[in-house]
Every structure is written in structure tokens, then in C-alpha cells.
């Protein structure tokens, strides 16, 4: 069985990468059972509550991230170093219940997947 890791490494607005990544997860989840989602670098902003997308006249697609649990996608990881570098608290109130990992452990986890798709 294939295992796929989706990595969100870009900020939620400014490009369509985040929305496209979320759409890809929903599409692929119908044929792949083992999907995990990682948030690294600026991708940690994808799971931040109240990002204020109305100020930039953009639709807040990040509100759809909690739907991942309906697709039985529960392996959600966030890079601890990325949070610290961006001034976000490790106890931050995220829209998802993510496991915060040190960068070395996160890399080891990513190495175990058959495919890694970055958005």
C-alpha cells in the first residue's frame, strides 16, 4: 500500500498552492488510505486560527482543513522550528490537532513515505 505525505510549506495566501494542496488531498484520499499532512516553513500559517483573509479580500479556504478528519486523515504534523522562527507559540490554538515535532524527527518521518507532494 502506498503512503503519501502532503507537505504545506507556503503561506496560505498570495498563491493558490494551499487550496490546490487541500483539493489534492481530498481527491487522492479516495484511492490512497495512508495520507499524512506536514506543515513546515511558512506552511505553519495554514493552520493558524483567524488569519484575517477578509483584510486581503480572499476566501478563507483554511476553514476546510478540519474536514480532513472526515476523510480519516489523522496523521498531522507541524515543525517546531518553523513555529519558533515565525514567532508562533507551541501552545498556539491551531485549527487542527497537530503533533509538533523537532526538525530531525520530522525528517525521519518524511523519509518513510513512498511519495511526498509539496504545496
CA atoms of 31 and 39, how far apart (whole Å): 23
CATH homologous superfamily of 4-118: DsrEFH-like (3.40.1260.10)
User: What pLDDT is recorded for position 33?
Assistant: 85
User: What pLDDT is recorded for position 1?
Assistant: 63
CA atoms of 4 and 80, how far apart (whole Å): 21
pLDDT tens digits, the chain, 119 residues: what are they? 689 999 999 988 778 888 899 999 999 998 998 999 999 999 999 888 766 555 555 677 777 888 888 888 999 999 999 999 998 887 777 888 899 999 999 999 999 999 999 99
Burial (Cβ within 10 Å: 0-12, 13-18, ≥19) of residue 30: exposed
CA atoms of 29 and 60, how far apart (whole Å): 22
User: What pLDDT is recorded for position 53?
Assistant: 53
Whole-model pTM: value is 0.89
Amino acid at each position: 500500500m502506498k503512503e503519501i505525505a502532503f507537505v504545506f510549506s507556503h503561506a496560505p495566501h498570495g498563491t493558490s498552492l494551499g487550496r490546490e494542496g487541500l483539493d489534492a488531498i481530498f481527491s487522492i484520499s479516495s484511492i490512497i488510505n495512508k495520507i499524512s499532512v506536514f506543515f513546515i516553513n511558512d506552511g505553519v500559517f495554514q493552520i493558524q486560527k483567524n488569519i484575517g483573509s477578509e483584510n486581503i479580500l480572499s476566501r478563507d479556504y483554511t476553514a476546510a482543513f478540519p474536514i480532513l478528519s472526515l476523510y480519516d486523515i489523522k496523521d498531522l504534523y507541524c515543525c517546531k522550528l518553523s513555529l519558533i522562527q515565525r514567532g508562533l507559540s507551541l501552545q498556539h490554538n491551531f485549527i487542527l490537532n497537530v503533533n509538533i515535532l523537532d526538525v530531525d524527527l520530522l525528517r525521519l518521518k518524511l523519509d518513510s513515505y513512498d511519495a511526498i507532494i509539496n504545496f
